[in-house]
A and B are shown apart, each in its own frame.
Chain A
Amino acid sequence: MRLYWEVAKRAFQRQLAYRTANLAGLTTNAFFGYVRAAVFVAAFTAQGEISGYDLRAAITYTWITQALIMVVMLWGWWDVAATITTGQVVSDLSKPFSYLGFWLARDVGRALYFLMFRAGPIMLVGELLFDLRWPRSSDVWLCFAGSLVLANLVSFGCRFLINLSAFWLTDAKGVGALVFTSIYFLSGLVVPLRLLPEGIQAVALALPFAGILQTPADVFLERVMGAELVTAVALQAFWAMALLVLSQVTLLAATRRLVVQGG
Chain B
Amino acid sequence: MAVIFETGGIYRRLIGAHLRSQMQHKVSFVLRTLGTFAANFFDFAGIAVLFGRIPQLSGWSLPEVALLYGISSLCFATAELFGGALDNFDTVILQGTFDRVLLRPLDALFQVLTEEFALRRLGRMAQGGLVLGIALAQLPVSWTAGKVLFLAISLVSGTALFLGIFVLGAAYCFWIVQGKEATHVVTYGGDFMSNYPMDIYSHWLKRFATFVLPIGFVSYYPSLYLLERSDPFGLPDWFRLMGPVAAAAVCLAAWCAWRGGVSQYQSTGS
Q: Does A42 contact B (CB under 8 A)?
A: yes
Which residue of the partner chain A has the closest CB to B188? A28
Please provide the chain A residues from 5 to 49 with a CB less than 8 Å away from any CB of chain B in the complex.
20-21, 24-25, 27-28, 31-32, 35, 38-39, 41-43, 45-47
Point out the residue from B28, B38, B57 that lies within 8 Å of A39, measured CB to CB. B57
Q: Which residues of B contact A50 (CB under 8 A)?
A: 53-54
Q: Which chain A positions have C-beta within 8 A of B52?
A: 195-197
Q: Does B8 belong to the interface (CB within 8 Å)?
A: no
The DSSP consensus for interface residues of chain A is helix
Rounded to whole angstroms, the CA-CA distance of A43 and B31 in the bound complex is 35
Residues of A within 8 A of B31 (CB): 171, 174-175, 177-178
* Interface 9-residue window, one of A110-118, A179-187, A212-220: A179-187
Tell whether A174 pairs with B28 under 8 Å between CB atoms, given A43-B57, A184-B39. yes
Contacts of B202 in A (CB 8 A): 38
Q: Does B193 contact A (CB under 8 A)?
A: yes
Q: Does B147 contact A (CB under 8 A)?
A: no
Q: Which partner residue on chain B sits nearest A184 by CB separation? A: B42
**B52, B57, B185, most chain A CB atoms within 10 A:** B185
Q: How far is the CA of A181 from the CA of B120 in the complex (A)?
A: 15
CB–CB A195/B57 < 8 A: no
Within 8 A of A (CB), among B34-69: 34-35, 38-39, 42-43, 45-47, 49-50, 52-58
Say if the beta carbon of A91 comes within 8 Å of chain B: no
Residue of A nearest to B181 (CB): A24
Chain A: which residue is nearest B65 at the CB level? A39
Q: Which residues of B contact A80 (CB under 8 A)?
A: none
Partner of B185, one of A27, A171, A197: A27
Q: Is B27 at the interface (CB under 8 A from chain A)?
A: yes
A43–B38 Cα distance when bound, in Å, is 25
**Is A93 at the interface (CB under 8 A from chain B)?**
no
Contact A174 B35 (CB under 8 A): yes
CA distance A109 to B178 in the complex (A): 24
Given A42-B199, A177-B32: A24 in contact with B55 (beta carbons within 8 A): no
Whether a CB of chain A sits under 8 angstroms from the CB of B201 is yes
Given contacts A27-B185, A42-B199, contact A178 B35 (CB under 8 A): yes
A143 at the interface (CB under 8 A from B): no
With contacts A175-B31, A178-B34 taken as known, whether A35 is within 8 angstroms of B46 at the C-beta atoms is: no
Q: Which residues of A contact B (CB under 8 A)?
A: 20-21, 24-25, 27-28, 31-32, 35, 38-39, 41-43, 45-47, 50-51, 171, 174-175, 177-178, 181-182, 184-185, 190-191, 195-197
* 13 more CB-based (< 8 A) A-B contacts, given A20-B182, A28-B185, A171-B27: A24-B182, A38-B196, A38-B202, A39-B50, A39-B200, A42-B57, A46-B54, A171-B25, A178-B34, A182-B42, A190-B45, A191-B46, A196-B52
